[in-house]
Amino acid sequence: MGENRWMAGQAQGTRRRTVVLGLAGLLLPTACGAPEPRDTASRDVQRVLDRRAGALLGRDEPGYLAALAPGAGLLRESERARFRNLTQVPLRSWEYRLTELRRDGDRATARAELRYRFEGYDSAPVTTSRAMELTRHDGRWYVVADRPDQGAAQQLWEQGPVTAVRGTRSLVLGTGQERQRLREIAATADRGVPAVDAAWPVRWSGRVVVLVPGSLDGMAALLGASSAGYRGIAAVTTGVSGAQGSAPADRVIINPEAYGAIGEFGQRVVLTHETAHVATRAHTSPATPMWLSEGFADWAAYRGTGRTPDRIAPELHRAVLRGELPAILPEDKEFGFAGDSERLARAYEGGWAACTMIAERWGEERLTAFYRAVGAGKDRESATKQAMHRELGVTPEEFTDDWRDYVRRSLS
C-alpha cells in the first residue's frame, strides 16, 4: 500500500509461474507406463472462486454460499453476514486470481489476489491479498476460510453492514455511522474536489471515495496497521503511486474520533488535503519527497481560505519566534506518525511553506510543473535537482536558502 497522509496517504504484484517440461521428460519411453494424471486442483479452485465472485456480483446469496464447505455452520453465518454487508456497495467488478495453492490430499491452503472496483468511481481496481483454506468433498473443492493475507488490510464490509452515501463528486461508505453524518462528510468532500481542481489543473478522475469505519481501531484495520500511530490523525489516503495511464483506486480513510474533534473548517481542510493526494497520485512517485507531496496537499487545502501564515503554520511560527529557524527542508522521517507531534506539525508546515513560496514567486502553474517533473524522475536527489534547475532556475542550495528566508519573513 502506498500511503499518503493527512496529517495527512497497495498494489501487490502477482507472481506467475511457468513450468517447462525438459527434453528428458519428453524422451521417456512409453513402455515405462502411462503418465500420471495431471493435478487439476489449481484449475478447479480457480473455478470455485470465479463462481463465488460471479454470485457476489449477481447478488446471488445462495450461489455465493454454495462455495462454502457443507456443514460449516459458523462459516456460513459469517459469510452470509459479509454478503449482506455489501448490499449497498456499488460494485462494478469483483474477481479472484489464484496466486498460490498448496495441497495436502483433500485439504489445501491458497493465496488469491482479490481485485474489485466501485461503479462510477474506479477506473482501476483495488488489489488486496487473501489467505484461504479449502477442503474437497465428493470431488469438489469448497472454501472453509477466507481472511486478509498476512500484512494485508481488512475490508470495510468485514467490519459490519456498509451504508453508502453518494455526493455530487464523492462516494462515502461507512460502518457504524449515522447516515446523516455520512451525508455531511460527502458534502465536505464535494467542496474539496473543485478546490483541488483549481489548484491542480491536470486531468484526474474528479471523484473521491471516502471510507468511514466505526472507530480508530477500525481505521487501523483498514490500513493493516497498528492504531497507535494514527490516534491524532484525522484521515489518510491509500493508493498506488505513479500509476501512469490510469487513475489508481485511492481511498480516503477517516479516523472518526480525530475527525470529529477538529471542527468544520478543519474537516474541510483535511478532506481537501486528502483529495489533493488522490488528484496528484499518478504524478507522485518514490522520487517525490514528502515535503513536496504533503506540502502541495496542504497548499491546495489552504489556498483561498484567507488564513494567515501564522495560523496555518502555528508550530513553525512558534519555532521561528524562539529563534529556531530550520536549517534544511523537512526530511521524510519527520513525517512519521509515531514520532513527536510538534515535529510532525513543523514538517507539514515546512512543506506547505515551500510550496506556497513556489506558487507566490514562480506562479501556480510552475508549482504544478515542478511537482510533475520531480515525480517523473527515477532518483530523488537527481530528480529534485534537475526539476529545480529546469522549472525554477535555482540549485537545491539556493532553493533551501530562499525557503529559510521565506519562513523567517512570513512567520516572524
pLDDT tens track for 275-305: 999 999 999 999 999 999 999 999 999 999 9
* Longest CA span, the chain: 92
Residue for cell digits 536558502? 401
Give percent of the chain above pLDDT 70.
88
Integer angstrom CA distances of residue 11 from 125, 162, 283, 325: 9, 23, 16, 39
Residue 330 lies in a domain: yes
Is 303 inside a domain boundary? yes
* pLDDT > 70? residue 60: yes
How wide is the angle at C-alpha 193 spanned by C-alphas 329 and 218, nearest 5°? 75
32 pLDDT higher than 80: no
Domain of 328?
285-412
When pLDDT is averaged across residues 140-152 and rounded to a whole number, the result is 95
Predicted confidence at residue 3, as pLDDT, reads 45
**From 17-21, 84-88, 265-269, the region with the lowest mean pLDDT:** 17-21
User: Can you tell me the distance from the alpha carbon of 116 to that of 187, in angstroms, rounded to the nearest whole number?
Assistant: 25
Nearest to 284 by CA among 198, 375, 380, 209: 375
Residue 25: pLDDT above 70? Answer: no
Residue 252 inside a domain? The answer is: no
Q: Whole-angstrom Cα distance, residue 354 to residue 344?
A: 16
Note the pTM of the prediction, 2 decimals.
Answer: 0.87
Top-confidence residue, 247 or 275:
275
State the average pLDDT for the chain: 89
171 occurs within a structural domain: no
Given pLDDT bands bounded at 50, 70 and 90, which one contains residue 329? Answer: very high
Most confidently predicted of 15-19, 36-40, 383-387: 383-387
Residues 51 and 187: their CA atoms lie apart, in Å, by 38
Decide if 247 is inside a domain: no
Mean pLDDT of 363-367: 98
Whether residue 401 lies inside any domain: the answer is: yes
How many domains is the chain built from? Answer: 1
For residue 134, being part of any structural domain is answered with no
CA dihedral over 53, 59, 62, 65, signed as positive or negative: positive
Q: Which position has the grid cell 529557524? A: 325
Residue 244 maps to a domain: no
**Measured between alpha carbons, how far is 342 from 408 in angstroms, rounded to an integer?**
18
